[in-house]
Amino acid sequence: MDRNQAIGLALIAAMFIIYLNFFMEEPKVDETAESKTEQVEQTGTKEQDQQASNDVEEQEPEEVLSDSVKAALANNKFGAFAGLSEGQEEFFTLENNLVEIKISSQGAVIKSVRLKDRETYLGEPLYLIDENSSEQSLVTELDGKKIDLADLYFSSNSPKVMVAGKEDTARLVFTGEGAGGKQISVSYTLAPDQYTIDYGLSFKGINNKGNNLIISWDNHAKRLEKQLDGARVGSRPETTINYYRSDNEEFNSLDASSTDPQYDTLASPVKWFSMSQKYFSAALISKNGFSNSQFKTITPPESDTTTVKELYAQVAVPMKNLEGNSPEFKYYFGPNNYYVMQDVAGAPEFKENVRFGWKILAFINKGLVLPIFHFLERFTGNYGLIIFMLVLIIKLMLSPLTYKSYKSMAKMKVLNNLLKPETDALKEKYGDDQAKIQQETMKLYQKMGTSPFAAMSGCIPMILQMPILFALFNFFPYSVELRGESFLWAEDLSTYDSIATLPFTIPFYGDHVSLFTLLMTLSTILMTYTNSQMNSAQMQGPMKTIQYFTPVIIMFVLNSFPAGLTYYYFLSNTITFGQQTLIKKFMIDDEKIERQIEENRKLKGGKKSKFQAKLEEAMKAQESKAKKKAKKK
């Protein structure tokens, strides 16, 4: 290496050293990663700080408020019963062979009621009320403090589960001890074979003069039935609050069919009130009556298919009524069964919770249909057979009317056949002059010793049977006995039987096909055809066709009605058809009827009854008016 190369290498090294020390930039740090790390650390710190803050907040009442401050606040709110404001909620159960009642130590109030012998339409345990659907409060003034007993924790020495045996009652007692020997006692007593629970409240060592106990009960009625909407078939339009006024001794209720909110405020005394669904009721009864009662019902939107209706009740009880040892109240949780409700002590007209229609229809159901139905229950638990026997008994009772009706129709058939040539001649002679044809036809009947209105006598027996048919129309939809009972293809006689589900909904008909309704319709059409043959001369023109539309219309109406009802109507039509066939074959002789008509013609021919004479005068007057109007035109 020469001198020049050495100098060059030295200069390059010097420049490299100078560059490294004075001009080269330091390696860049990944600020993003460092930032993320810092954020994570900060976030973790914040979360820890927030958690610590939350812990502080959760612990604040205990840590910040001293025991003396908490005691002062509780004493200010609850007075002598401040010691009952805190505690551990426990649950106790009272049950017999019919109901299971769950009661909480907080407030000593009923939390749920299960009817042990019933299920919902889905086959699940039937809870008439539960913790999510029902809430009660009992507010009163105790020694100057307005207290809700539902906020207090009571104690009980009773077993957690108590069962009422065949002869023994089960009694659950709660006590709440206050300062200065003051005490609140709550008791529940359940007997075997009962849907009622005696409920007692008593206060000791407390000045309650002039005060009232305000009981508020909010109940979002649970859906228990398959059909939610629809008059007589759905549970929603049949759910309401019923109550009994003591002053005028009347059963009253809020309008169940209205979808608008319903209210009622009463200053007059109320003996009991019930939150009544179609087949079941939850009720509270007072021995001495409630005062200042307020009732309200609200129908939820159609989209809510779990709540039938919102029911609200608020009643007042004078505290002086709670000084005795005997229970002041009685709960009822059970079915709307007429005979069961009739036996509820201390609740006048409680059986009116069972709907049987208007007064005349209710009279028939209570006095005739229900006793027969109840009597037949002693012999069989098959309600399909019970309905069959019910039809037989009612048809047997009405058989004299059926015979008279059919005999009258047979007589008119023979008479019309005898007069047919002459009535046809009248129609040909007078053409469209209906008034004249009617006058001349009446003269023909008069010569035969009868009148065309004798046909009406055949309708009278049928008219007399109509109240029973309408009564049954109100009996079966509300008969809790049929609920859940199956027969043949019908899974539940209290609702419609469906043999096919349609992929669409037919207006007024529904989305299903009820076989019992179809059978009822076909049997009605058959009877209509048979009867029209008996009165072919009387049934002319459009009426002859229209009569067949009526069964079809009824089919649309009854397609969603209980299978028990349409099954009854089908059996009724079938048995009536059989009765008419037997009467025609063995009890009606057309030749004998014809001879009787001839004898009547000889005895009464030419004589007019007062009714016929007045009718002819009226028809002549009408004809005269018609002629005068025609002349003016």
Q: What is the DSSP string of 363-431?
A: HHIIIIIHHHHHHHTTT-S-HHHHHHHHHHHHHHHHHHHHHHHHHHHHHHHHHHHHHHHHHHHHHHHHT
58, amino acid identity: E
**What confidence score (pLDDT) does residue 354 get?**
93
What is the sign, positive or negative, of the torsion defined by CA atoms of 185, 186, 190, 191? positive
Angle at 207 between CA 203 and CA 209, to 5 degrees: 100
d(CA 318, CA 605): 81
Where does residue 409 rank: exposed (0-12), middle (13-18), buried (19+ CB within 10 A)?
Answer: buried
**What confidence score (pLDDT) does residue 211 get?**
84
Q: For the residues of 525-539, what is the DSSP string, one character each?
A: HHHHHHHHHHTTTTS
Helices 456-475, 383-430: crossing angle, 10 deg rounding: 150
CB atoms within 10 A of CB 147: 21
Which single residue is written with the structure tokens 């939350």? 54
Which single residue is written with the structure tokens 């409920």? 199
**What confidence score (pLDDT) does residue 451 get?**
59
d(CA 365, CA 351): 13
Domains, the chain, with CATH or none:
88-355 (2.70.98.90), 383-605 (no CATH)
d(CA 478, CA 488): 21
246, amino acid identity: S
Contacts of residue 366, defined as CB under 8 A and 6 or more positions apart, other chains included, come to 338, 356
Rg over CA atoms, the chain: 41
Q: Which two tokens stand for residue 133?
A: 């659907």
d(CA 94, CA 428): 85
Q: For the residues of 178-200, what is the DSSP string, one character each?
A: -GGG-EEEEEEEE-TT-SEEEEE
Cβ-contact 339, 374 below 8 angstroms: yes
Total residue count of the chain as it appears in this document: 633
Low-confidence residues of the chain: pLDDT under 70: 1-71, 74, 208-210, 324, 432-435, 444-462, 533-545, 589-591, 593-594, 596-633
